[in-house]
Amino acid sequence: MKIITRNIWVLSIVSLFTDVASEMLYPVMPIYLKTIGFSIILIGVLEGFAEATAGLSKGYFGTLSDNKGKRLPFVQIGYAFSAISKPMMALFIYPMWIFFARTIDRLGKGVRTGARDALLSDEATQQTKGRVFGFHRSMDTLGAVIGPLLALVYLAYHPNDYKTLFFIAFFPGIIAIAFTFFIKEKQKEQSKPKTKTRFLDFVKYWKESPATYRKLVGALLVFTVFNSSDVFLLLKIKEAGFNDATVIGVYVFYNLIYALFSYPLGILADKIGMKKIFISGLILFSVVYVGMAYAESKIVFIVLFFLYGVYAAATEGIAKAWITNICKKENTATAIGTYTAFQSIATLIASSLAGVIWFRFGASATFLLSGIVAILISFYIKIQKT
């Protein structure tokens, strides 16, 4: 049986081009916002509002996709929103317009996430979920390698011309939208009675979900609360003496390792079990964060970012594959949407918590706490029957 099907290839290519567009702007977004008059506080409010929009909408649209019994329209609309938001950011510089454009981008992610992952799940069996989600994650993350490199090359020839990058980023977004029309959604009978979908229905699913789902996702969310943004890792190496170009280079290196290891680790997860691979990833995370607390050598930092890439490959795609194996098939988008919705909220808490700990007790305390929590979560998952 063919494991990486046509739909999986197309969805992976769509994600790759979308990530090229998004990650092309990731290194320059804060700089651009500052040049058009945004303060640090306003940037924080903007990003917080945008991420909250993405998080809550993932839960709602995941549930709506299941209730409608459709995937493709949500995928197409979601990727279209993200594509059109890129040039919108550069058309006008009024704060309310920037808020609107950034929200459209994050709303697009919310609309598509549950439906897209459900489409991936529909293309796989329980025995091939690891490699399917691993392959998709590998292609998606490859975009996070290509995007920043394109931005660096452009800025090398056109320093400080950030606005043009937002227009350039529109083109890979358009390519992504075009590829969505090659996706073939399998026709299936509507198994659920048609009901009105309320905005917070995904919270109701949490109460009705299998106990194994709540145990796994609960552990993942606790981990997320203590897993601060990657920005803190980049800030750490910046303080250690890396220049701006090298910091971006290290970020690209991390994503390259992430992309290279996602598919092989997905295959391995199908063979020896997702729990073993996921726990191994958490242990690597702990090693990286404890290492970050004490590292001083630049070589050591590079090694830690290599391990961090392997950790991401062992956990991100694997977690979603694992969840789709636990939930009922007709609830796949709801289950993924609920998890990613709560994850977005936990991520907001995590970065705030990390910032407070860093400010009060220093960088080492921030990294040590995260490393210790990762070990505790890995032990909890090991003893659970999930």
In this predicted model, what pLDDT tens digit does every residue of 217-228 receive, in sequence order? Answer: 999 999 999 987
Domain at 351, CATH number: 1.20.1250.20
Asked whether residue 194 is assigned to any structural domain, the reply reads no
pTM of the model: 0.89
Structure tokens, 224: 């997320």
The token pair that represents 28 in the structure block: 């320059």
In a domain, 107, yes or no: yes
In a domain, 168, yes or no: yes
Distance CA 139, CA 13 (A): 7
Domain assignment of residue 188, yes or no: no
Assess if residue 26 is contained within a domain.
yes
- Is 241 within a domain? yes
Can you state the angle between helices 211-225 and 363-383, rounded to 10 degrees?
170
Model confidence pLDDT, tens digit, residues 86-133:
999 888 888 889 989 989 998 999 999 999 999 999 999 989 999 999
Residue 336 domain-assigned (yes or no): yes
Total domains present in the chain: 1
User: Which range marks the domain in which residue 97 is found?
Assistant: 6-183+199-383
Q: Could you tell me where the DSSP H helices lie in 161-225?
A: 162-168, 170-180, 201-208, 211-225
Q: For residue range 234-279, what is the model confidence (pLDDT) as tens digits?
A: 888 888 888 877 888 888 999 999 999 999 999 999 999 999 999 9
Task: Please report the pLDDT score of residue 386 as a whole number.
Answer: 62
The dihedral of CA 34, 105, 99, 345: what is its sign?
negative
- Residue that has been written with the tokens 């006008």 in this structure: 92
Cβ atoms 21, 242 nearer than 8 A: no
Would 48 be classed as within a structural domain? yes
